[in-house]
């Protein structure tokens, strides 16, 4: 784990404009890998917004480099909606291992739909992909589904939880175990801007220092 865990409130100067922008985009059902609905990757529909928003996220880690343009990064970004009437249960604890770090900006009024961080306390963590995909595709709750979440949660201890304050940005290493404890109140919608960063480097090829590594080796 090399990336810190951050929380930045009042992230966007004009969150209303960001929310209105999200309303112009199409949200589609996914293939069952995650709950709810996502837009197409934001860089494919509005590259200016993608560049500005990812630069703001990078500035929370490397303010000098992000502002001078001496960093380069690759990322994939989506707006995501989760209808809480479809997901009133706990989320699965998981990692985003194919990425470097994950950023989430909460954009709805629902404050009880944040993100919790966990540590693993039991091996092995059972795989429930088939059960999860079936639920996320069909929104049908079953005993098998609730049993799978229970078994998943038994392997972890919660260490931290972010409240989903509107316009709050949180960031964490993609190897961190995380989950949603509550998707919000019934008949509401959880809107987030989620960004997965694939790589970060210096534009001139010089060594990029990582926050957690630097403090742990002192």
| pLDDT computed for residue 46 by the predictor | 98
| pLDDT computed for residue 134 by the predictor | 83
| pLDDT computed for residue 185 by the predictor | 65
| pLDDT computed for residue 124 by the predictor | 92
pLDDT higher than threshold 90 for residue 186: no
Question: What phi, psi does 82 have (nearest 5°)?
Answer: -125, 120
| pLDDT computed for residue 88 by the predictor | 63
| pLDDT computed for residue 191 by the predictor | 95
- The answer to whether 192 and 105 have CB atoms below 8 angstroms apart is yes
Buried b (16+ CB within 10 A) or exposed e, 1-23: eebebeebeebbeebeebbebbe
pLDDT higher than threshold 60 for residue 137: yes
pLDDT higher than threshold 60 for residue 57: yes
What distance in Å separates the CA atoms of residue 137 and residue 30, rounded to the nearest whole number?
7
CA–CA distances in Å: residue 109 to residues 15, 166, 180: 12, 6, 16
pTM of the entire predicted model:
0.93
- The answer to whether 61 and 81 have CB atoms below 8 angstroms apart is no
| pLDDT computed for residue 204 by the predictor | 87
pLDDT-derived band at 142 (thresholds 50, 70, 90) equals confident
Domain borders along the chain are 6-200
pLDDT higher than threshold 90 for residue 17: yes
Average pLDDT, the chain: 91
- Looking from the CA of 33 toward its CB, the CA atoms found within 13 Å total 5
The per-residue pLDDT for range 24-38, each reduced to its tens digit, is 999 998 777 888 899
**Fold classified for 6-200:** Jelly Rolls (2.60.120)
| pLDDT computed for residue 187 by the predictor | 54
The per-residue pLDDT for range 73-106, each reduced to its tens digit, is 999 999 999 887 666 678 899 999 999 999 999 9
């Amino acid at each position: 784990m090399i990336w810190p865990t951050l929380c930045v409130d009042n992230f966007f100067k004009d969150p209303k404009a960001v929310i209105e922008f999200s309303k112009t985009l199409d949200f589609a059902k996914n293939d069952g890998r995650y709950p709810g609905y996502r837009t197409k990757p934001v860089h494919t529909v509005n590259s200016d917004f993608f560049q500005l928003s990812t630069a703001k996220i990078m500035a929370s880690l490397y303010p000098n480099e992000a502002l001078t343009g001496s960093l380069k990064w690759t990322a994939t970004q989506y707006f995501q909606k989760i209808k809480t009437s479809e997901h009133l249960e706990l989320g699965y604890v998981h990692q985003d291992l194919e990425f470097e770090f994950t950023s989430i900006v909460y954009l709805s009024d629902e404050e009880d739909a944040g993100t919790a961080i966990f540590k693993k306390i039991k091996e092995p963590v059972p795989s429930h992909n088939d059960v999860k995909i079936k639920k996320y595709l069909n929104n049908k709750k079953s005993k098998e589904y609730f049993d799978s979440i229970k078994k998943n949660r038994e392997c972890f201890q919660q260490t931290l939880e972010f409240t989903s304050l509107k316009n709050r940005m949180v960031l964490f290493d993609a190897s961190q175990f995380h989950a949603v404890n509550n998707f919000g109140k019934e008949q509401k919608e959880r809107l987030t801007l989620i960004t997965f960063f694939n790589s970060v480097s210096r534009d001139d090829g010089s060594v990029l220092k990582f926050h957690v590594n630097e403090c742990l080796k002192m």
